[in-house]
Amino acid sequence: MGIELDIRPIKDWLPQQDNPLLIAGPCSLETEEQTLETAHQLAKDKRVFVFRGGVWKPRTRPGSFEGVGAIGLKWLQQVKKETGLPVGTEVANAQHTEEALNAGLDVLWIGARSTASPFVVQEIADVVKGTDAVVMVKNPVNPDVQLWMGALERLNQAGIKNLVGIHRGFTPFRETHYRNYPNWKTFIELRRLLPNLPVICDPSHIAGKREYLFEVSQKAFDMGMEGLMIESHRDPSCALSDKEQQLTPADLGLLLDKLVIRQSSSSNKQFENKLELLRSRIDALDSELMEVLSSRMEIAREIGRYKKENNVTALQINRWTELMNKRISLGEKLSLNKTFVQILFQLIHEDSVRMQTEIMDED
């Protein structure tokens, strides 16, 4: 069951935001000229509500561009003065947070590496305590929803009510064309556990390449997210960090033009009636599915007892390989996704083996 944190809706701290929240700007601030020119171009598009710019850039290895440092805060102040846009940056520790607050920045966010450390998050929470800061929290690098929740809870316990989650993908566990694996199920679980938390998507860090930005952004809106954080640079080819995933302000506008923004519900009574009918059919099928799984597991228990009587191992790898090949083949004939079938039967088989080994360990 989900828990309700004491969180204000985005419109409470950004009153002019009627459309999905869009945060845009360079991965890294490089020069004052680059910062201001990019900001002025973005400000022409009224769909952009917040200008972002990386001041401190924690890189995986030393030697890469690690940001201009605190001087970038002055450039962000100038952006706000000249364009009227709220401004924000990533903070990775308590010192960054103090400097950003002192500079009057409107939005702070905690990066994936920092979210992974409860000690770092607590230090940041101690700094923002007693303020009306807007703090966004990116998911940790690994799909640990409890770690993500813990960071949000620490900030909320420090009195921060202007909270937003940012889904930026996870370190890939297998080959993928994305830079970071989306793993949408972790976002779904976070939404289930914290139903009143606004969540936006960072398609730049998920995609890693410009050509995938639209599909990730559209998927985010299809999943019901409240907005996007997209990296935009006046000339991405010259960017000092993450040039492959940044868009020019003009190209960002073209991407936004193509996006379809979906609603969480419909006032169409016929739609609601049809949806309820289809959902009731899903419920009935799920009940039938659970009964079938229960019957399957009872047979697996009987197999386990029979193996024990005949001193045979629980895991039979040849049988498992044969079973998986047959299930994948059947799934393809039924138009089921191959990966889905593999994961489903992997889980079923793992629990069957677990159950059979427990039977063998019984006295």
What is the reported pLDDT for 66? Answer: 79
**Tens-digit pLDDT profile for residues 27-37:** 999 999 999 99
In sequence order, the β-bridge partners of residue 137 are: 110, 165
- Vertex 117, ends 112 and 118: CA angle to 5°? 120
pLDDT: which is higher, 280 or 61: 280
> Does residue 21 have a pLDDT over 80?
yes
Please, how many CA atoms are within 13 Å of residue 310, restricted to the half-sphere of its CB?
8
Confidence of residue 208 (pLDDT cuts 50, 70, 90): very high
Query: In the structure encoding, which two tokens stand for residue 220, read together?
Result: 């985010």
Sequence spans of domains, the chain: 10-258, 269-361
Q: What is the mean pLDDT of the chain?
A: 93
User: What fold, for 10-258?
Assistant: TIM Barrel (3.20.20)
What is the reported pLDDT for 267? Answer: 80
Query: In the structure encoding, which two tokens stand for residue 224, read together?
Result: 């019901």
Confidence of residue 60 (pLDDT cuts 50, 70, 90): low
Give 217's contacts (C-beta < 8 A, 6+ positions apart). Answer: 201, 203, 228, 230, 255, 259
Query: In the structure encoding, which two tokens stand for residue 208, read together?
Result: 């890693």
Confidence of residue 1 (pLDDT cuts 50, 70, 90): low
**Tens-digit pLDDT profile for residues 247-294:** 999 999 999 999 999 877 778 888 888 889 999 999 999 999 999 999
Give 170's contacts (C-beta < 8 A, 6+ positions apart). Answer: 139, 140, 141, 142, 143, 180, 181, 182, 183, 186
How many Å apart are CA 110 and CA 305, to the nearest integer?
Answer: 52
What is the reported pLDDT for 61? Answer: 64
What is the reported pLDDT for 262? Answer: 83
How many Å apart are CA 101 and CA 107, to the nearest integer?
Answer: 9
Q: Once rounded to an integer, what is the mean pLDDT over residues 65-79? A: 93
pLDDT: which is higher, 213 or 172: 213
What is the reported pLDDT for 59? Answer: 64
Report the percent of the chain where pLDDT is more than 90.
87
How many Å apart are CA 218 and CA 233, to the nearest integer?
Answer: 21
The CATH number assigned to the domain with range 269-361 reads 1.20.59.10
Q: Quick check: 181 and 171 in contact, CB under 8 A? A: yes
Report the percent of the chain where pLDDT is more than 70.
98
> Does residue 160 have a pLDDT over 80?
yes
> Does residue 48 have a pLDDT over 70?
yes
Q: What is the pTM of this model?
A: 0.84
**Tens-digit pLDDT profile for residues 283-341:** 999 999 999 999 999 999 999 999 999 999 999 999 999 999 999 999 999 999 999 99
What is the reported pLDDT for 244? Answer: 96
Domain 10-258 shares a fold with domain 269-361: no
What is the reported pLDDT for 172? Answer: 85
**Tens-digit pLDDT profile for residues 224-245:** 999 999 999 999 999 999 999 9
How many Å apart are CA 292 and CA 233, to the nearest integer?
Answer: 54
Whole-number Cα distances in Å, 250 to 38, 233, 344:
10, 10, 44
> Does residue 3 have a pLDDT over 90?
no
Q: Quick check: 358 and 307 in contact, CB under 8 A? A: no
How many Å apart are CA 205 and CA 209, to the nearest integer?
Answer: 9
Task: Report H helices in the chain.
Answer: 10-13, 32-43, 71-83, 94-102, 112-115, 118-128, 145-157, 184-193, 203-207, 213-222, 249-258, 269-309, 317-333, 338-361
What is the reported pLDDT for 17? Answer: 67
Nearest CA to 49 among 25, 27, 22? 22
Please, how many CA atoms are within 13 Å of residue 37, restricted to the half-sphere of its CB?
10
